[in-house]
Amino acid sequence: MKNPRLITYSMMSLICLVIILTFTVRWYAKQTTLPPGMTVGGWQVGGMELQGMQQNWAAQLARLAALPVQLQTDQSAVGSQTLPLGELGLRVDDSQLQAVLQRLFTGTVAERAKQRWLLRDAHITVPLQIDAAVLDSRVRKQWRALYSRAPVPAKRVITPSDEITYEAEHFEPRIDTAALAARLEATLQPISRQLMQRSSASSPDKQQLLTMRIALPVVAEKPTTTVASLQAQGIERKIVEYSTPIIDAAPGRLHNITAPATVIHDMLLKPGEIFDYAKVVKQAEQQFGFQESKVILNGKLVNGIGGGICQVSTTLYNAALLSGLEIIERKNHSLMISYAPLGQDATFSSDGINFRFRNNTGSYLLIRTETQNNKFTVKLFGQLPEGISYEVKSNILETIPAPTEYVSNPNLSPTERVKVVDGKEGYIVETYRITKRNGATIATDKISKDKYAPQPTIYAVKESATPPQTSPAPIKIEDGVMGPIFR
């Protein structure tokens, strides 16, 4: 039989041990200092009071943000600057530290005691990074004058003799902020450790001696357009020039020629791109407007708005034919015109007649225009296969006699007949494009078969025998955008 006194003594000893252990754990858990050997970003914080450590940590971060950074360069166009690290996008991630402190000083006694034991000699990392967007914004602000100077793009110049030359692009220095961020981040951890080591220095002056020195990475910013990019477009020379005479140089008609010609001037067509004259006319109308001039209305010349715009499309059409370009859409005038050969005109109507062609040269195509009082010219620049040239010929298949019409004039005698308008014959014409290599014909292609309506010879008689129209003809406008204008 066991000794009762021994049992009692053992029980009392166990109880005392539990009490002592409980008080020891509680005392251990409720300590307000950090575990021994603990470091934060290389800074020894073990044994420090929590409040003091937190205040010191905030001061450390403030000193780090205020740390001067000398951004140095020997390029006078850029210039060196000194800025505090905090303004250069410094980001301190102390989330791991805050999580450790949360576990260490909150929770149950057992949990806190466990964490205190586990965190002995713990090394808490504090990642230091540079926010690239903040850095880029600050650099652009600090070097505002530098970034206000944009790179100058290269320019293609057409000389008065139609030779192609180039004005070189001009680069501007820029700070490579991605490389600068990498250089800053590479020195953050070492400089942070040095700063923390000096934080215990007795003299504040010693703390201010620390400065970061970073060589500014400078690169040259190129403009989008360079001489190389222009040359890669393949615009080698003037491939064709075509002119039409401006027979009617009235101010309204001259304005209507100049407006779309200005829109077309220096237009650049990519390989395969389609030129659309309807878009040109719309842009010209929006930018410059059109003025009063003669237009074709239902086969007759009347006063309208926009007369003359078809001289631009006709001249460009001939230049396109002589360059071998693919004609997608084109229609001749209903009446014969005076500034281009039969079969070689291209009319336009806002009622649905358009002129379009495709750049099938395989390189870029540059369109230039020149408007003078007596001549309108289109020049195309690009490239054609060596030795290839084109000719355009039109043949009259049929001549259509001018009909005769009569109008009434009660002031005339029954036997009188007075010619009011001279008629004009009409024509049916076929047009061909002839392709030559080194002067020898290698292909002949039919381009169009066109009909030009005759214009009647009109006589005035006492009583007209011409039957009146029973219903008005549908309005069809050519060579303009609006008509007729009655006064």
**Whether 330 and 460 share a structural domain:** yes
- Distances from the Cα of 83 to the Cα of 190, 216, 231, angstroms: 19, 13, 44
> In which element (H, E) is residue 63 found?
helix 50-65
Residue that finishes a domain, picked among 221, 254, 277: 221
**Whether 240 and 165 share a structural domain:** no
In a domain, 45, yes or no: yes
- The answer on pLDDT for 202 being more than 50 is no
User: What pLDDT was estimated at residue 203?
Assistant: 46
- The answer on pLDDT for 67 being more than 50 is yes
- The answer on pLDDT for 6 being more than 60 is yes
**Whether 273 and 314 share a structural domain:** yes
How far is the C-alpha of 397 from the C-alpha of 439, rounded, in Å? 27
**Whether 214 and 158 share a structural domain:** yes
In a domain, 262, yes or no: yes
Residue that finishes a domain, picked among 221, 249, 275: 221
**Whether 247 and 166 share a structural domain:** no
**Whether 121 and 52 share a structural domain:** yes
What is the mean pLDDT of the segment spanning 188-192?
81
Residue 64 backbone dihedrals phi, psi, to 5 degrees: -65, -45
**Whether 310 and 406 share a structural domain:** yes
In a domain, 181, yes or no: yes
Retrieve residue 3's tokens: 């000794």
In a domain, 227, yes or no: no
- Distances from the Cα of 239 to the Cα of 43, 253, 368, 380, angstroms: 76, 29, 12, 6
**Whether 242 and 217 share a structural domain:** no
**Whether 168 and 243 share a structural domain:** no
**Please, are residues 180 and 139 in contact by the beta-carbon 8 Å criterion?**
yes
**Whether 277 and 202 share a structural domain:** no
Q: For residue 55, give the DSSP letter.
A: H
Q: What is the dihedral of CA 271, 277, 279, 284, to 10 degrees?
A: 120
263-294 pLDDT, tens digit per residue, is 999 999 999 999 999 999 999 999 999 887 66
In a domain, 24, yes or no: no
**Whether 167 and 301 share a structural domain:** no
How far is the C-alpha of 487 from the C-alpha of 477, rounded, in Å? 19
**Whether 147 and 259 share a structural domain:** no
| Residue 195 structural domain | 33-221
In a domain, 140, yes or no: yes
In a domain, 268, yes or no: yes
Residue that finishes a domain, picked among 165, 198, 221: 221
25-36 pLDDT, tens digit per residue, is 677 768 888 889
406-451 pLDDT, tens digit per residue, is 888 888 888 788 888 888 889 999 999 999 999 999 999 999 999 9
> Given pLDDT bands bounded at 50, 70 and 90, which one contains residue 207?
very low
Beta strands in 230-322, from DSSP E residues, in sequence order: 237-245, 267-269, 274-276, 292-297, 300-305
How far is the C-alpha of 275 from the C-alpha of 357, rounded, in Å? 5
* Pairing between β-strand 39-40 and β-strand 123-124 as defined by DSSP bridges: parallel
Q: What is the mean pLDDT of the chain?
A: 86
For the four alpha carbons of 59, 60, 62 and 66, in that order, the dihedral sign comes to positive
User: What pLDDT was estimated at residue 190?
Assistant: 81
Domains in the chain: how many in total?
Answer: 2
167-177 pLDDT, tens digit per residue, is 999 999 999 99
In a domain, 333, yes or no: yes
Q: Which residues, at least 6 apart from 36, have a Cβ–Cβ distance to it below 8 Å?
A: 46, 47, 120, 121
User: What pLDDT was estimated at residue 19?
Assistant: 75
